């Protein structure tokens, strides 16, 4: 008798599981995983603008949409960890910037990614083209490679006697490496000597006295 009651109870619970799962899914808000490449304070202006634009489009945080904030603090390896966490938590989309988007690509390929402020998403191999990015990612390109030479020419106009120039860049970012190469190529005809220095953290920049 006890055995039959137990089986009946177990069967009833099993039948209820899909209903509970559907109710939990229905109550879950669409979730954005926002991956900031640096710190909350550094990202504050962009985070505020992002939240404001969502409200203008009818999405209110905590009511019609949820946002999970994570901060890589300038460490690419941290970005990959956060991306994997977002995948486990089944966020609906990840919003980030170019350098962190590379970390996302290395970690996951199943969650849609929207990136901003990427200098060269094509050269880095993240998207096939601007018109047809393919894969799970889309976003905005700064097209800074196209203007690298022009910026150097403008700097030469401001400083006519410019002969030596140091460029600070995070060289663990493939886009920065490509852009640094473009600057070096543009500098040769102008007779400017270029030095590329790797700067991953604020501590890598030593003040001159």
- What pTM was estimated for this model as a whole? 0.62
In the block, tokens 């199943």 appear at 110
Residue 200's CB is within 10 A of a number of other CB atoms, namely 14
**Total domains, the chain:** 2
Question: What angle do the packed helices 98-107 and 174-190 form, to 10 degrees?
Answer: 140
Last-in-domain residue among 102, 120, 141: 141
Residue 144 tokens read as 């800074």
Q: Note whether residue 5 is domain-resident.
A: no
Which residue range is the domain that position 125 belongs to?
Answer: 11-15+23-141
Whole-angstrom Cα distance, residue 38 to residue 65? 24
The backbone torsions φ and ψ at residue 138, rounded to the nearest 5 degrees and listed phi first, read: -155, 165
- Give residue 145's pLDDT band: very low, low, confident or very high (50, 70, 90): low
* First-last CA distance in the chain: 89
Per DSSP, the three-state class of 102 is helix
Write out pLDDT tens, residues 5-50: 434 433 444 444 444 444 444 468 999 999 988 889 988 998 999 9
Residue 72 and residue 123 share a domain: yes
């Amino acid at each position: 008798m006890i055995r039959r009651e137990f089986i009946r109870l177990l069967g009833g619970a099993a039948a209820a599981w899909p209903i509970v799962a559907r109710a939990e899914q229905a109550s879950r808000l669409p979730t954005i995983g926002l991956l900031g490449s640096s710190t909350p304070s550094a990202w504050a202006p962009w985070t505020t603008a992002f939240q404001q634009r969502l409200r203008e489009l009818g999405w209110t945080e905590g009511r019609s949409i949820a946002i999970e904030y994570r901060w890589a603090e300038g460490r690419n390896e941290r970005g990959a960890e956060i991306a994997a966490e977002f995948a486990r938590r089944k966020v609906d989309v990840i919003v980030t910037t170019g350098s962190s988007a590379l970390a996302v690509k290395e970690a996951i390929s199943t969650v849609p990614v929207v990136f901003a402020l990427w200098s060269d998403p094509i050269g880095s191999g993240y998207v096939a083209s601007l018109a047809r990015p393919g894969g799970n990612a889309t976003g905005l390109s700064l097209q800074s490679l196209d203007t690298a030479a022009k910026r150097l020419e403008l700097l030469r106009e401001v400083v006519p006697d410019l002969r030596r120039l140091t460029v600070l860049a995070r060289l663990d970012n493939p886009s920065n490496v490509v852009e640094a190469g473009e600057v070096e190529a543009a500098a040769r005809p102008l007779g400017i000597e270029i030095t590329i220095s790797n700067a991953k953290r604020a501590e890598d920049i030593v003040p001159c006295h």
